[in-house]
Amino acid sequence: MKEYKVWLAKLITVVVVVLVVVPLVSGAASAVKSVMGPKVAVIELAGIIEDSSEVLKALYEEVRDKDTKAVVLRVDSPGGAVAPSEDLFYAVKKLKEEKPIVVSMGSLAASGGLYSSLAASKIYCQPGTQTGSIGVILQVPNFTTIADKVGVQMVTIKSGALKDAGNQFRPMTEDERRFLEDIAHRVHENFIQAVSAGRGIPLEKVKSFADGRVLLGSEAKELGLVDEFGDIYDAARAALALAKVELKPDEVPNLVYASKKKSFIERALDARSLVPALLGTNSYPTIQFLAGY
């Protein structure tokens, strides 16, 4: 009789599991599945733009991934070096023809951060986002006074008059100043052209606010630099719509973050990058797209 009761208890347990627990678990799984919509890859462009290789790699991989329906480029950057910003601009311009790439601006997407965004299928920001700063900055420190005090001399041997333009151990000549200013003006003009072409804004209108000023998102929308206000999920929904992928009423975009790029501080603390940064590879100063404060 005791064995019969044990067997009956086991049978009741099995029946409860089959009739109650399994349907509940299955229903929960179905609910989760129904909430998670199509994959949208999120690629982060954060911090000072010094190198574009990681973000470029992620862009190409996600655009070519058949499971990725659309891409959101999340930009939170004050800008950085010219060439990497241009790299990203042209890559986005090319790759958006294969798959929609929508930019979601964070708290700061200025100068090179804006340049990298200009060719996107669509740009989202918040009214308080800081963007704009369409300008070029070139700063040349001069250590002449310090070198004189500590008794250091830099002996330069060069093959051309402008080979060491920006030499930090002597005053800059007027020819060198004109040479570097000319480069800065030409890079600035390219930036203005990119804003006009990427956003469809008349050139003269761009020039009216392309003086390096930082703009709030609310101003940027009025000027046509961005399309809509919204968060990263709004950007993802817009990207899916451009990809002609419909979301069900209970679905949200399935945001999948690509590998994260090292921050500027992380790379600066890396001894392998710190030493070249201190020593420099040549005497030329770096022309940068940076938000000015």
Q: Does the active-site annotation cover 77? A: no
Helices 82-95 and 174-199 cross at an angle (nearest 10°) of 20
pLDDT at site 18: 44
In this model, does residue 20 exceed pLDDT 80?
no
Mean pLDDT within 103-125:
96
Over residues 39-64, the pLDDT tens digits come to 999 999 999 999 999 999 999 999 99
Over residues 33-43, the pLDDT tens digits come to 446 778 999 99
Helix intervals (H) in 200-293: 203-209, 217-223, 232-242, 264-269, 271-279
- The CATH topology of domain 38-290 is 2-enoyl-CoA Hydratase; Chain A, domain 1 (3.90.226)
Which pTM value belongs to this model? Answer: 0.77
From the list 77, 111, 116, 196, the catalytic residue is 111
From the list 26, 34, 158, 163, the catalytic residue is 163
Q: In this structure, are residues 240 and 40 in contact, taking their beta carbons and an 8 Å threshold? A: yes
Q: What tokens does 248 get?
A: 């069900």
Q: Does the active-site annotation cover 104? A: no
Parallel, antiparallel, or unpaired: how do β-strands 101-110 and 214-216 relate?
Answer: unpaired
For the chain, give every domain's residue range.
38-290
Q: What tokens does 137 get?
A: 């900055």
Residue 228 sits at φ, ψ, to 5 deg, of -145, 160
Q: In this structure, are residues 217 and 226 in contact, taking their beta carbons and an 8 Å threshold? A: yes
Mean pLDDT within 176-183:
88
